[in-house]
Amino acid sequence: MGMKLSPEQNELYRRTDEVLHYIWDPIGVSDSPYARDEYGEYLPQVFGKLLKNEPSERIVEYLLLIETENMGLSKNEKNAERTVEILEEYREKILAKDP
């Protein structure tokens, strides 16, 4: 990413990678160990959007754009929305500061 990440940010980066692979998984490769890096190209952008606290809708739109423009698939809005909900839950838990 070009910047030094805190331990919490590194954890969120790893979780984002896992969520994209195992939950979003628009091409259905999550059961193949050989495809573990399949969505790595999109990971920095999704992670960056999470760090910037971009609105959920913008992250969903980005995932749908990848599905349609890059992969030639139909939109799966429910799955993209579910994916972003999970990513945002991770962000809140991992990056939450103690009061």
- Label residue 99 by pLDDT band (50, 70, 90): very low
Could you give the CA distance from residue 82 to residue 60 in angstroms, rounded to a whole number? 9
1: buried, middle or exposed (CB in 10 Å: 19+, 13-18, 0-12)?
exposed
Which of the 8 DSSP states describes residue 28?
Answer: S
pLDDT beyond 80 at 97: no
pLDDT tens track for 23-53: 999 999 999 989 999 999 999 999 999 999 9
Percentage with pLDDT > 90 across the chain? 92
